[in-house]
Amino acid sequence: MALVESRSIDYIPLAERHGEVRHLWPVWFVGDAHLATLATGAISVTAGLGLFWSSLAVIGGCVLGTVLMALHCSQGPHLGLPQMIQSRPQFGYLGALLVWVVALVTYIGFNALNQSLAASTVKELVGLPQTTTVVVFAALATFVAAIGYDLIHKAQRILAYLMLAVLAVYTAGLFTVIDLAVLLRPGVFMPTLFLVQFFASAGYQLSWSIYVSDYSRYLPREVGIRASFGWTFCGAFIGGAWMMLVGAFAAAAFANADIVVALRHSADAMFGGFGVIMLVSSFGGLITITSLNLYGASLTLLSMVDSVTPIRLGIASRMMALAVALVMSLTLSLAMSGNILSRLEAFLGVLVYLFTPWTAINLADFFIVRKGRYSIRAMFMADGLYGRWNWRGLTSYALGFIAMIPFFKTEIYVGPVAQALGGADISMLIGLPVSAAIYLMLCRSLDLTNELAQIPVLDRNLETEPVR
Protein backbone atom coordinates (compact mmCIF):
# COMPACT_ATOMS: atom_id res chain seq x y z
CA MET A 1 0.00 0.00 0.00
CA ALA A 2 1.21 3.54 -0.79
CA LEU A 3 1.70 6.05 2.04
CA VAL A 4 -1.35 8.00 0.83
CA GLU A 5 -4.42 5.92 0.05
CA SER A 6 -5.01 5.76 -3.70
CA ARG A 7 -8.58 4.43 -3.65
CA SER A 8 -11.69 6.52 -3.13
CA ILE A 9 -15.23 5.24 -3.82
CA ASP A 10 -14.14 2.46 -6.16
CA TYR A 11 -14.11 -1.27 -5.43
CA ILE A 12 -11.23 -2.71 -3.37
CA PRO A 13 -9.88 -5.78 -5.23
CA LEU A 14 -9.28 -8.91 -3.17
CA ALA A 15 -5.53 -8.67 -3.81
CA GLU A 16 -5.45 -5.32 -1.97
CA ARG A 17 -7.41 -6.50 1.06
CA HIS A 18 -5.46 -6.47 4.31
CA GLY A 19 -5.77 -6.07 8.06
CA GLU A 20 -7.40 -8.09 10.80
CA VAL A 21 -11.05 -8.03 11.76
CA ARG A 22 -10.18 -7.50 15.44
CA HIS A 23 -8.82 -4.07 14.48
CA LEU A 24 -12.42 -2.91 14.09
CA TRP A 25 -12.68 -2.90 17.88
CA PRO A 26 -10.26 0.02 18.51
CA VAL A 27 -11.59 1.97 15.51
CA TRP A 28 -15.07 2.16 16.99
CA PHE A 29 -14.06 2.16 20.65
CA VAL A 30 -12.04 5.35 20.11
CA GLY A 31 -14.60 6.48 17.56
CA ASP A 32 -16.99 6.81 20.49
CA ALA A 33 -14.59 7.58 23.37
CA HIS A 34 -14.32 11.34 22.91
CA LEU A 35 -15.94 14.62 23.98
CA ALA A 36 -18.90 14.62 21.57
CA THR A 37 -20.04 11.29 23.00
CA LEU A 38 -19.54 12.72 26.48
CA ALA A 39 -21.92 15.56 25.64
CA THR A 40 -24.52 13.12 24.31
CA GLY A 41 -24.65 11.27 27.62
CA ALA A 42 -25.22 14.50 29.56
CA ILE A 43 -28.35 15.60 27.69
CA SER A 44 -31.00 14.24 30.07
CA VAL A 45 -29.05 14.90 33.27
CA THR A 46 -28.66 18.58 32.45
CA ALA A 47 -32.41 18.70 31.74
CA GLY A 48 -33.26 17.29 35.19
CA LEU A 49 -33.44 13.50 34.89
CA GLY A 50 -31.70 11.53 37.62
CA LEU A 51 -28.46 9.68 36.95
CA PHE A 52 -30.07 6.27 37.50
CA TRP A 53 -32.71 6.69 34.80
CA SER A 54 -30.30 8.54 32.52
CA SER A 55 -27.86 5.63 32.72
CA LEU A 56 -30.53 3.10 31.79
CA ALA A 57 -31.57 5.27 28.85
CA VAL A 58 -27.95 5.54 27.68
CA ILE A 59 -27.35 1.79 27.83
CA GLY A 60 -30.64 0.88 26.14
CA GLY A 61 -30.20 3.45 23.38
CA CYS A 62 -26.63 2.37 22.74
CA VAL A 63 -27.69 -1.26 22.36
CA LEU A 64 -30.34 -0.40 19.76
CA GLY A 65 -28.21 2.01 17.72
CA THR A 66 -25.04 -0.10 17.87
CA VAL A 67 -26.77 -3.29 16.66
CA LEU A 68 -27.91 -1.47 13.52
CA MET A 69 -24.54 0.19 13.03
CA ALA A 70 -22.60 -3.09 13.40
CA LEU A 71 -24.86 -4.82 10.87
CA HIS A 72 -23.90 -2.16 8.33
CA CYS A 73 -20.20 -2.66 9.12
CA SER A 74 -20.43 -6.31 8.13
CA GLN A 75 -21.26 -5.21 4.57
CA GLY A 76 -17.79 -3.70 4.05
CA PRO A 77 -15.62 -6.85 3.80
CA HIS A 78 -18.31 -8.60 1.75
CA LEU A 79 -18.66 -5.91 -0.93
CA GLY A 80 -15.41 -3.93 -0.71
CA LEU A 81 -17.25 -0.65 -1.19
CA PRO A 82 -17.96 2.51 0.82
CA GLN A 83 -21.27 2.49 2.65
CA MET A 84 -23.03 5.10 0.57
CA ILE A 85 -22.31 3.45 -2.79
CA GLN A 86 -24.12 0.40 -1.41
CA SER A 87 -27.36 2.43 -1.39
CA ARG A 88 -27.62 2.43 -5.19
CA PRO A 89 -29.26 -1.02 -5.49
CA GLN A 90 -32.03 0.06 -3.10
CA PHE A 91 -32.59 3.62 -4.31
CA GLY A 92 -31.10 3.75 -7.80
CA TYR A 93 -28.07 5.44 -9.34
CA LEU A 94 -29.62 8.89 -8.96
CA GLY A 95 -32.16 8.04 -6.27
CA ALA A 96 -29.34 7.39 -3.78
CA LEU A 97 -28.60 11.12 -3.87
CA LEU A 98 -31.45 11.47 -1.36
CA VAL A 99 -29.53 9.70 1.41
CA TRP A 100 -26.15 11.05 0.31
CA VAL A 101 -27.24 14.66 0.79
CA VAL A 102 -28.47 13.78 4.27
CA ALA A 103 -25.19 11.94 4.99
CA LEU A 104 -23.08 14.91 3.87
CA VAL A 105 -25.05 17.27 6.11
CA THR A 106 -24.49 14.82 8.97
CA TYR A 107 -20.72 14.77 8.47
CA ILE A 108 -20.51 18.55 8.32
CA GLY A 109 -22.78 18.95 11.34
CA PHE A 110 -20.82 16.51 13.49
CA ASN A 111 -17.51 18.10 12.54
CA ALA A 112 -18.81 21.55 13.39
CA LEU A 113 -19.85 20.24 16.81
CA ASN A 114 -16.51 18.46 17.26
CA GLN A 115 -14.58 21.60 16.40
CA SER A 116 -16.65 23.64 18.86
CA LEU A 117 -15.96 21.07 21.59
CA ALA A 118 -12.26 21.18 20.71
CA ALA A 119 -12.29 24.96 21.10
CA SER A 120 -13.96 24.64 24.53
CA THR A 121 -11.36 22.07 25.60
CA VAL A 122 -8.34 24.10 24.53
CA LYS A 123 -9.82 27.24 26.08
CA GLU A 124 -10.24 25.35 29.35
CA LEU A 125 -6.66 24.05 29.18
CA VAL A 126 -4.60 26.97 27.85
CA GLY A 127 -7.02 29.78 27.04
CA LEU A 128 -6.52 29.96 23.26
CA PRO A 129 -9.23 31.78 21.25
CA GLN A 130 -11.86 29.74 19.41
CA THR A 131 -10.90 30.63 15.84
CA THR A 132 -7.24 29.65 16.23
CA THR A 133 -8.13 26.38 17.93
CA VAL A 134 -10.74 25.40 15.36
CA VAL A 135 -8.43 26.03 12.40
CA VAL A 136 -5.44 24.14 13.89
CA PHE A 137 -7.67 21.30 15.06
CA ALA A 138 -9.25 20.98 11.60
CA ALA A 139 -5.82 20.99 9.94
CA LEU A 140 -4.63 18.08 12.11
CA ALA A 141 -7.80 16.09 11.42
CA THR A 142 -7.54 16.80 7.69
CA PHE A 143 -3.95 15.54 7.57
CA VAL A 144 -4.98 12.17 9.03
CA ALA A 145 -7.97 11.95 6.64
CA ALA A 146 -5.75 12.81 3.66
CA ILE A 147 -3.34 9.95 4.39
CA GLY A 148 -6.41 7.75 4.56
CA TYR A 149 -7.60 4.36 5.71
CA ASP A 150 -4.40 2.80 7.11
CA LEU A 151 -3.33 5.82 9.18
CA ILE A 152 -6.83 6.16 10.62
CA HIS A 153 -6.76 2.53 11.73
CA LYS A 154 -3.28 2.84 13.27
CA ALA A 155 -4.12 6.06 15.11
CA GLN A 156 -7.26 4.49 16.56
CA ARG A 157 -5.33 1.44 17.81
CA ILE A 158 -2.80 3.63 19.62
CA LEU A 159 -5.46 5.84 21.19
CA ALA A 160 -7.52 2.83 22.26
CA TYR A 161 -4.88 1.79 24.83
CA LEU A 162 -4.68 5.33 26.19
CA MET A 163 -8.45 5.72 26.50
CA LEU A 164 -8.89 2.32 28.11
CA ALA A 165 -6.41 3.26 30.83
CA VAL A 166 -7.83 6.74 31.39
CA LEU A 167 -11.45 5.58 31.51
CA ALA A 168 -10.55 2.74 33.87
CA VAL A 169 -8.86 5.17 36.29
CA TYR A 170 -11.78 7.61 36.05
CA THR A 171 -14.32 4.86 36.70
CA ALA A 172 -12.39 3.57 39.71
CA GLY A 173 -12.09 7.13 40.99
CA LEU A 174 -15.84 7.56 41.08
CA PHE A 175 -16.00 5.52 44.26
CA THR A 176 -13.54 7.82 46.04
CA VAL A 177 -15.08 11.23 45.36
CA ILE A 178 -18.83 10.76 45.35
CA ASP A 179 -21.53 8.83 47.13
CA LEU A 180 -22.78 6.72 44.26
CA ALA A 181 -25.61 5.36 46.39
CA VAL A 182 -27.07 8.88 46.46
CA LEU A 183 -26.52 9.57 42.77
CA LEU A 184 -27.94 6.21 41.71
CA ARG A 185 -31.17 6.47 43.65
CA PRO A 186 -33.95 6.06 41.06
CA GLY A 187 -35.75 9.25 41.99
CA VAL A 188 -38.60 10.57 39.87
CA PHE A 189 -39.02 8.84 36.53
CA MET A 190 -39.57 11.40 33.75
CA PRO A 191 -40.66 9.45 30.66
CA THR A 192 -40.14 12.30 28.22
CA LEU A 193 -36.55 12.97 29.30
CA PHE A 194 -35.86 9.24 29.46
CA LEU A 195 -36.96 8.80 25.86
CA VAL A 196 -35.05 11.90 24.77
CA GLN A 197 -31.85 10.37 26.17
CA PHE A 198 -32.66 6.88 24.87
CA PHE A 199 -33.17 8.00 21.28
CA ALA A 200 -30.35 10.56 21.43
CA SER A 201 -28.01 7.70 22.35
CA ALA A 202 -29.53 5.41 19.72
CA GLY A 203 -29.39 8.13 17.05
CA TYR A 204 -25.80 8.94 17.92
CA GLN A 205 -24.74 5.32 17.44
CA LEU A 206 -26.95 4.92 14.36
CA SER A 207 -25.30 7.95 12.76
CA TRP A 208 -22.07 5.92 12.29
CA SER A 209 -24.04 3.62 9.96
CA ILE A 210 -23.63 5.94 7.01
CA TYR A 211 -19.90 5.28 6.86
CA VAL A 212 -19.11 2.38 9.16
CA SER A 213 -18.25 -0.01 6.32
CA ASP A 214 -15.84 2.58 4.87
CA TYR A 215 -13.45 1.31 7.56
CA SER A 216 -14.03 -2.39 6.99
CA ARG A 217 -14.01 -2.48 3.18
CA TYR A 218 -10.28 -3.26 2.96
CA LEU A 219 -10.61 -6.36 5.16
CA PRO A 220 -10.39 -9.78 3.47
CA ARG A 221 -13.81 -11.07 2.45
CA GLU A 222 -13.31 -14.30 4.40
CA VAL A 223 -13.48 -12.51 7.78
CA GLY A 224 -17.22 -13.01 7.50
CA ILE A 225 -20.30 -11.15 8.64
CA ARG A 226 -20.43 -12.47 12.22
CA ALA A 227 -16.85 -11.53 13.08
CA SER A 228 -17.07 -8.02 11.64
CA PHE A 229 -20.41 -7.48 13.39
CA GLY A 230 -19.11 -8.76 16.73
CA TRP A 231 -15.90 -6.73 16.86
CA THR A 232 -17.68 -3.57 15.71
CA PHE A 233 -20.50 -3.96 18.23
CA CYS A 234 -18.13 -4.56 21.15
CA GLY A 235 -15.96 -1.57 20.31
CA ALA A 236 -18.76 0.88 19.60
CA PHE A 237 -21.01 -0.20 22.47
CA ILE A 238 -18.29 -0.23 25.12
CA GLY A 239 -16.77 3.06 23.95
CA GLY A 240 -20.11 4.76 23.42
CA ALA A 241 -21.96 3.64 26.55
CA TRP A 242 -18.90 4.08 28.78
CA MET A 243 -18.19 7.62 27.57
CA MET A 244 -21.85 8.65 27.71
CA LEU A 245 -22.08 7.38 31.28
CA VAL A 246 -18.98 9.41 32.15
CA GLY A 247 -20.71 12.46 30.67
CA ALA A 248 -23.88 11.75 32.63
CA PHE A 249 -21.91 11.36 35.88
CA ALA A 250 -19.87 14.53 35.33
CA ALA A 251 -23.01 16.54 34.64
CA ALA A 252 -24.84 15.07 37.64
CA ALA A 253 -22.02 15.39 40.17
CA PHE A 254 -20.48 18.67 39.00
CA ALA A 255 -23.29 20.64 37.40
CA ASN A 256 -21.99 23.05 34.81
CA ALA A 257 -23.41 24.35 31.54
CA ASP A 258 -20.12 23.43 29.85
CA ILE A 259 -19.63 19.65 29.85
CA VAL A 260 -15.88 20.10 29.28
CA VAL A 261 -15.57 22.09 32.53
CA ALA A 262 -17.71 19.52 34.38
CA LEU A 263 -15.45 16.69 33.18
CA ARG A 264 -12.32 18.48 34.33
CA HIS A 265 -13.74 19.27 37.76
CA SER A 266 -14.93 15.71 38.30
CA ALA A 267 -11.53 14.26 37.28
CA ASP A 268 -9.55 16.77 39.36
CA ALA A 269 -11.61 15.77 42.39
CA MET A 270 -10.09 12.29 42.10
CA PHE A 271 -6.49 13.54 42.14
CA GLY A 272 -4.72 16.70 41.10
CA GLY A 273 -4.02 17.08 37.40
CA PHE A 274 -6.21 14.19 36.31
CA GLY A 275 -8.65 16.64 34.73
CA VAL A 276 -5.97 17.72 32.26
CA ILE A 277 -5.11 14.10 31.46
CA MET A 278 -8.78 13.32 30.88
CA LEU A 279 -9.29 16.28 28.57
CA VAL A 280 -6.08 15.72 26.59
CA SER A 281 -6.79 12.02 26.02
CA SER A 282 -10.39 12.74 25.01
CA PHE A 283 -9.13 15.48 22.74
CA GLY A 284 -7.05 12.93 20.81
CA GLY A 285 -10.13 10.87 20.09
CA LEU A 286 -11.93 14.02 18.99
CA ILE A 287 -9.23 14.64 16.36
CA THR A 288 -9.46 11.15 14.90
CA ILE A 289 -13.25 11.01 14.82
CA THR A 290 -13.19 14.34 12.98
CA SER A 291 -10.76 12.69 10.55
CA LEU A 292 -13.24 9.84 10.08
CA ASN A 293 -16.01 12.36 9.39
CA LEU A 294 -13.89 14.29 6.89
CA TYR A 295 -12.84 11.07 5.18
CA GLY A 296 -16.45 9.88 4.98
CA ALA A 297 -17.64 13.29 3.82
CA SER A 298 -15.12 13.27 0.97
CA LEU A 299 -16.31 9.82 -0.19
CA THR A 300 -19.95 10.88 0.03
CA LEU A 301 -19.28 14.09 -1.88
CA LEU A 302 -17.48 12.10 -4.58
CA SER A 303 -20.44 9.71 -4.77
CA MET A 304 -22.82 12.65 -5.24
CA VAL A 305 -20.72 14.23 -7.99
CA ASP A 306 -20.18 10.87 -9.67
CA SER A 307 -23.95 10.33 -9.87
CA VAL A 308 -24.39 13.56 -11.81
CA THR A 309 -21.29 13.31 -13.98
CA PRO A 310 -18.78 10.39 -13.97
CA ILE A 311 -15.42 11.40 -12.51
CA ARG A 312 -11.94 9.93 -12.50
CA LEU A 313 -11.50 8.10 -9.22
CA GLY A 314 -8.26 8.31 -7.27
CA ILE A 315 -6.11 10.46 -4.99
CA ALA A 316 -6.70 13.79 -6.76
CA SER A 317 -10.48 13.59 -6.66
CA ARG A 318 -10.45 12.48 -3.02
CA MET A 319 -8.21 15.40 -2.03
CA MET A 320 -10.45 17.90 -3.79
CA ALA A 321 -13.53 16.50 -2.09
CA LEU A 322 -11.71 16.54 1.26
CA ALA A 323 -10.86 20.22 0.82
CA VAL A 324 -14.49 21.08 0.09
CA ALA A 325 -15.68 19.14 3.17
CA LEU A 326 -13.09 20.94 5.31
CA VAL A 327 -14.23 24.39 4.17
CA MET A 328 -17.88 23.54 4.78
CA SER A 329 -17.31 22.25 8.33
CA LEU A 330 -15.01 25.14 9.22
CA THR A 331 -17.54 27.69 8.02
CA LEU A 332 -20.31 26.14 10.10
CA SER A 333 -18.24 25.67 13.28
CA LEU A 334 -16.95 29.26 13.24
CA ALA A 335 -20.53 30.49 12.89
CA MET A 336 -21.86 28.42 15.80
CA SER A 337 -22.89 30.13 19.01
CA GLY A 338 -24.90 29.31 22.13
CA ASN A 339 -25.12 26.08 24.09
CA ILE A 340 -23.61 23.07 22.31
CA LEU A 341 -25.70 20.53 24.20
CA SER A 342 -29.02 22.02 23.10
CA ARG A 343 -27.94 22.07 19.47
CA LEU A 344 -26.56 18.54 19.75
CA GLU A 345 -29.90 17.24 21.09
CA ALA A 346 -31.80 18.84 18.20
CA PHE A 347 -29.26 17.62 15.65
CA LEU A 348 -29.41 14.02 16.87
CA GLY A 349 -33.20 14.13 16.79
CA VAL A 350 -33.15 15.05 13.11
CA LEU A 351 -30.66 12.26 12.39
CA VAL A 352 -33.03 9.69 13.88
CA TYR A 353 -35.81 10.85 11.57
CA LEU A 354 -33.73 10.87 8.41
CA PHE A 355 -31.64 7.72 8.84
CA THR A 356 -34.19 5.39 10.35
CA PRO A 357 -35.97 4.59 7.02
CA TRP A 358 -32.66 4.30 5.18
CA THR A 359 -31.06 1.89 7.63
CA ALA A 360 -34.19 -0.32 7.65
CA ILE A 361 -34.29 -0.50 3.84
CA ASN A 362 -30.56 -1.02 3.37
CA LEU A 363 -30.36 -3.83 5.94
CA ALA A 364 -33.57 -5.50 4.73
CA ASP A 365 -32.20 -5.54 1.19
CA PHE A 366 -28.77 -6.86 2.15
CA PHE A 367 -29.81 -9.54 4.63
CA ILE A 368 -33.27 -10.60 3.43
CA VAL A 369 -33.95 -9.63 -0.19
CA ARG A 370 -30.64 -9.94 -2.07
CA LYS A 371 -28.71 -11.71 0.72
CA GLY A 372 -25.49 -9.89 -0.15
CA ARG A 373 -25.62 -10.81 -3.85
CA TYR A 374 -24.87 -7.66 -5.87
CA SER A 375 -23.10 -6.66 -9.06
CA ILE A 376 -20.27 -4.30 -8.14
CA ARG A 377 -19.96 -2.99 -11.70
CA ALA A 378 -23.69 -2.32 -11.95
CA MET A 379 -23.44 0.10 -9.02
CA PHE A 380 -21.26 2.33 -11.22
CA MET A 381 -23.58 2.20 -14.27
CA ALA A 382 -26.14 4.98 -14.60
CA ASP A 383 -28.43 2.84 -16.77
CA GLY A 384 -27.34 -0.50 -15.41
CA LEU A 385 -28.95 -3.33 -13.54
CA TYR A 386 -30.23 -1.17 -10.66
CA GLY A 387 -31.53 1.74 -12.77
CA ARG A 388 -31.42 5.47 -12.19
CA TRP A 389 -34.38 5.49 -9.82
CA ASN A 390 -35.55 2.55 -7.72
CA TRP A 391 -39.19 3.18 -6.93
CA ARG A 392 -39.28 0.42 -4.33
CA GLY A 393 -36.66 1.97 -2.09
CA LEU A 394 -37.83 5.54 -2.60
CA THR A 395 -41.46 4.65 -1.91
CA SER A 396 -40.53 2.70 1.21
CA TYR A 397 -38.42 5.60 2.46
CA ALA A 398 -41.20 8.12 1.87
CA LEU A 399 -43.92 6.01 3.49
CA GLY A 400 -41.68 5.08 6.42
CA PHE A 401 -40.85 8.73 7.01
CA ILE A 402 -44.51 9.76 6.77
CA ALA A 403 -45.45 7.05 9.29
CA MET A 404 -43.01 8.64 11.75
CA ILE A 405 -44.38 12.19 11.48
CA PRO A 406 -47.19 11.82 14.08
CA PHE A 407 -44.51 10.71 16.57
CA PHE A 408 -42.10 13.61 15.93
CA LYS A 409 -41.17 16.02 18.67
CA THR A 410 -39.11 19.01 17.60
CA GLU A 411 -38.91 22.68 18.52
CA ILE A 412 -41.10 23.63 15.56
CA TYR A 413 -43.45 20.64 15.38
CA VAL A 414 -44.89 18.13 17.84
CA GLY A 415 -46.93 15.30 16.34
CA PRO A 416 -50.34 14.34 17.78
CA VAL A 417 -49.11 10.98 19.11
CA ALA A 418 -46.09 12.63 20.74
CA GLN A 419 -48.47 15.13 22.37
CA ALA A 420 -50.68 12.30 23.63
CA LEU A 421 -47.61 10.61 25.10
CA GLY A 422 -46.67 13.72 27.02
CA GLY A 423 -44.00 14.83 24.55
CA ALA A 424 -42.28 11.47 24.22
CA ASP A 425 -40.81 10.73 20.79
CA ILE A 426 -40.85 7.05 19.78
CA SER A 427 -40.71 7.64 16.02
CA MET A 428 -37.62 5.44 15.55
CA LEU A 429 -39.54 2.40 16.78
CA ILE A 430 -42.18 3.11 14.15
CA GLY A 431 -39.95 3.97 11.20
CA LEU A 432 -37.77 0.86 11.39
CA PRO A 433 -40.47 -1.83 11.02
CA VAL A 434 -42.72 0.21 8.71
CA SER A 435 -39.94 1.04 6.22
CA ALA A 436 -38.58 -2.51 6.23
CA ALA A 437 -42.02 -4.12 5.92
CA ILE A 438 -43.06 -1.92 2.99
CA TYR A 439 -39.77 -2.55 1.19
CA LEU A 440 -40.03 -6.32 1.65
CA MET A 441 -43.60 -6.27 0.37
CA LEU A 442 -42.69 -4.24 -2.71
CA CYS A 443 -39.70 -6.49 -3.44
CA ARG A 444 -41.99 -9.48 -3.85
CA SER A 445 -42.38 -8.37 -7.48
CA LEU A 446 -38.61 -8.08 -7.99
CA ASP A 447 -37.27 -10.53 -10.58
CA LEU A 448 -34.30 -11.76 -8.57
CA THR A 449 -33.72 -14.79 -10.80
CA ASN A 450 -33.01 -12.58 -13.81
CA GLU A 451 -30.96 -10.14 -11.75
CA LEU A 452 -28.75 -12.82 -10.22
CA ALA A 453 -28.15 -14.39 -13.63
CA GLN A 454 -26.60 -11.12 -14.87
CA ILE A 455 -24.16 -10.66 -12.00
CA PRO A 456 -21.52 -13.24 -13.11
CA VAL A 457 -21.49 -11.70 -16.59
CA LEU A 458 -21.20 -8.11 -15.37
CA ASP A 459 -18.50 -8.87 -12.79
CA ARG A 460 -16.49 -11.48 -14.69
CA ASN A 461 -13.27 -9.37 -14.75
CA LEU A 462 -13.87 -7.51 -11.53
CA GLU A 463 -10.54 -8.42 -9.94
CA THR A 464 -8.37 -7.51 -12.93
CA GLU A 465 -10.07 -4.49 -14.51
CA PRO A 466 -11.21 -1.19 -12.94
CA VAL A 467 -14.93 -0.87 -12.21
CA ARG A 468 -15.08 1.97 -14.72
Q: What pLDDT, in 10s, does the model give residues 248-306?
A: 888 887 766 567 777 788 888 888 888 888 888 878 888 888 998 899 899 889 888 88
Residue 341: pLDDT over 50: no
Residue 156: inside a domain, yes or no? yes
Are 187 and 416 within 8 A, CB to CB?
A: no
137 burial class (0-12, 13-18, 19+ CB within 10 angstroms)? buried
Domain count, the chain: 1
Residue 384: inside a domain, yes or no? no
pLDDT, position 124: 74
3-class DSSP assignment, residue 71: helix
Task: Give dist(CA 202, CA 322) in Å, integer.
Answer: 28
Residue 158: pLDDT over 60: yes
Boundaries of domain holding 206: 18-339
77-94 pLDDT, tens digit per residue, is 999 999 888 999 999 999
Residue 433: inside a domain, yes or no? no
Residue 173: pLDDT over 90: no
Average pLDDT rounded to a whole number, residues 323-352: 71
Give the alpha-carbon dihedral of 118, 107, 237, 122, to 10 degrees: 0
Residue 7: pLDDT over 80: yes
Residue 430: inside a domain, yes or no? no
Task: Give dist(CA 81, CA 67) in Å, integer.
Answer: 20
Residue 375: pLDDT over 60: yes
Residue 8: inside a domain, yes or no? no
Are 151 and 1 within 8 A, CB to CB?
A: no
Residue 438: pLDDT over 70: yes
CATH of the domain at 174: 1.10.4160.10
Task: Give dist(CA 455, CA 257) in Å, integer.
Answer: 56
**What is the percent of the chain where pLDDT is above 90?**
44
Residue 361: pLDDT over 90: yes
- Range scoring the smallest mean pLDDT among 52-61, 65-74, 314-323, 363-372: 314-323
Give the alpha-carbon dihedral of 332, 341, 249, 256, to 10 degrees: 100
Residue 345: pLDDT over 80: no
Q: What is the mean pLDDT of the chain?
A: 87
* Side-chain half-sphere CA neighbours of 289 within 13 A: 32
Average pLDDT rounded to a whole number, residues 41-66: 91
Residue 1: pLDDT over 60: no
Task: Give dist(CA 387, CA 118) in Å, integer.
Answer: 43
Task: Give dist(CA 430, CA 409) in Å, integer.
Answer: 14
Distances (CA, A) of 173 to 7, 167, 243, 244, 267: 45, 10, 15, 17, 8
pLDDT, position 340: 53
Residue 409: inside a domain, yes or no? no
Residue 464: pLDDT over 80: yes
Residue 178: inside a domain, yes or no? yes
Average pLDDT rounded to a whole number, residues 375-384: 92
Amino acid (1-letter code) at residue 225? I
pLDDT, position 426: 87
Residue 4: inside a domain, yes or no? no
133-146 pLDDT, tens digit per residue, is 888 888 999 999 99
193-231 pLDDT, tens digit per residue, is 898 899 889 988 988 888 899 999 999 999 989 999 999
**What is the percent of the chain where pLDDT is above 70?**
95
pLDDT, position 60: 96
Average pLDDT rounded to a whole number, residues 41-63: 90
393-430 pLDDT, tens digit per residue, is 999 999 999 999 999 887 778 899 988 877 778 888 99
Residue 121: pLDDT over 90: no
